[in-house]
């Protein structure tokens, strides 16, 4: 039996799920047409259309950043404004890639408790009178992070409230779904209910954090919005010649609900960890554990004890003794128990 893993830095540190590796091995047999002409890539639209219960146009890319910024480039002009949470990945962690790929669109960061944008906050931002004034960036799109950078989730009603404002003001709605699977699993709702039925028009469907080797899908629920994506992806250097190796991972994720199975495992471990932390004197769970991340305030000696025994996790705020722990699909109950034992 392998030793327990004490690496909780990110779900990106995990390897690929066995099912994904098997699918890649299967795709590695023989020759296949390049640049998306292979059988795996041509099946993506139908597979995602079945999952979301509506017609979809789907494009595989290898990174979440590519998925986000290429999607935004299709819905926001260079003079546009994209509203997002002030702590969102596109605002903080993508090295100005959204601005670069959109040709200059401005990201407007909005505050919000638990990593979420409230409809009232967005409405206040949109009431500033920028529309139609040549001196201001023109409101073009909203991007929601699902699950959020605080490990919380937008409910379908939350998304629908934002979507209603987008329709009222003529904005497009994008969702950064790097952890979309964890959000769907946590809410126990359908993929459709959390996406297009709630008003999302384009989704970055994450798979890499959920057990893929390197695969994300850009899913357009309004195919007409995807007209320029082929060219933007190629121009941006994100069209893989051997696209079958991206596409087969996405198909394997959807096969027999693997994407939800893996996400549920990760979410379950996060809940176990949170339940263990609350039994530690002086510990506090800061935000609701609704996906696969736990943000905990811990006594300094407990954090130090875990690290002295090899535990890896991020310090979110040194001043607040706030730490982030992320559970990947392959974390086990024994891994959680070993981490809690390390706290002493």
Q: What is the residue whose two structure tokens read 């009222």?
A: 168
**Domain assignments of the chain as residue spans, ordered by start:** 18-257, 259-342
Question: Comparing C-alpha atoms, which of 65, 85, 47, 53 is closest to residue 178?
Answer: 65
Q: What is the residue whose two structure tokens read 């993506």?
A: 44
Question: Comparing C-alpha atoms, which of 50, 12, 18, 101 is closest to residue 219?
Answer: 50
Phi, psi angle pair for 288, to nearest 5°? -55, 140
pLDDT in tens, 79-131: 999 999 999 999 999 999 999 999 999 999 999 999 999 999 999 999 999 99
pLDDT at 3: 85
pLDDT at 341: 96
pLDDT at 1: 64
Which sign, positive or negative, has the C-alpha torsion 284, 287, 289, 295? negative
Which burial class, exposed, middle or buried, applies to 139 when counting CB atoms under 10 A from its CB (0-12, 13-18, 19+)? buried
Q: Judge contact between 326 and 262, C-beta under 8 A.
A: no
For 259-342, CATH gives 3.90.1150.10
pLDDT at 127: 94
pLDDT at 11: 97
For 18-257, CATH gives 3.40.640.10
pTM above 0.75, yes or no: yes
C-alpha pair distances (Å), 239 with each of 36, 38, 72, 224: 8, 13, 17, 20
pLDDT at 47: 98
Q: What is the 3-state secondary structure (H, E, C) of 10-47?
A: CHHHCCCCHHHHHHHHHHCCCCCCCCCCCHHHHCHHHH
Pick out the chain residues at pLDDT < 50. Answer: none
Provide the 3-class DSSP secondary structure of residue 133.
coil
Provide the 8-state DSSP code for 236.
T
Provide the 3-class DSSP secondary structure of residue 336.
helix
């Amino acid at each position: 039996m392998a030793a327990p893993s004490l690496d909780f830095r990110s779900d990106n540190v995990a390897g690929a799920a066995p099912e994904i590796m098997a699918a890649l091995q299967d795709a590695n047999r023989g020759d296949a047409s390049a640049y998306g002409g292979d059988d795996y890539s041509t099946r993506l639209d139908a597979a995602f259309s079945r999952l979301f219960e509506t017609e979809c146009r789907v494009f595989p890319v290898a990174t979440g950043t590519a998925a986000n910024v290429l999607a935004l480039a299709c819905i926001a002009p260079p003079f546009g404004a994209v509203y997002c949470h002030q702590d969102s990945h596109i605002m903080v962690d993508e090295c100005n890639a959204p601005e670069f790929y959109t040709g200059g669109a401005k990201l407007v960061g909005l505050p919000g408790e638990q990593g979420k944008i409230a409809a009232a906050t967005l409405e206040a931002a949109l009431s500033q009178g920028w529309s139609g004034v040549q001196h201001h960036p023109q409101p073009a799109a909203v991007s929601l992070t699902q699950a959020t950078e605080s490990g919380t989730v937008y409910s379908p009603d939350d998304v629908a409230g934002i979507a209603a404002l987008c329709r009222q003001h003529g904005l497009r709605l994008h969702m950064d779904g790097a952890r979309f699977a964890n959000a769907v699993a946590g809410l126990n709702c359908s993929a459709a209910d959390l996406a297009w039925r709630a008003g999302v028009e384009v989704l970055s469907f994450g798979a890499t954090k959920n057990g893929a080797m390197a695969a994300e899908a850009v899913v357009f629920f309004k195919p007409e919005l995807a007209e320029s994506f082929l060219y933007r992806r190629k121009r941006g250097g994100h069209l893989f010649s051997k696209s079958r190796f991206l596409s087969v991972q996405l198909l394997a994720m959807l096969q027999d609900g693997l994407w939800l199975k893996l996400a549920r495992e990760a979410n379950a471990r996060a809940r176990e960890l949170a339940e263990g932390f609350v039994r530690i004197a002086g510990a506090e769970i800061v935000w609701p554990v609704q996906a696969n991340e736990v943000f905990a305030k811990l006594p300094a000696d407990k954090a130090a004890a875990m690290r002295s025994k090899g535990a890896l996790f991020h310090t979110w705020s040194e001043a607040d003794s706030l730490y982030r722990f992320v559970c990947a699909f392959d974390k086990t109950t024994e891994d959680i128990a070993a981490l809690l034992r390390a706290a002493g």
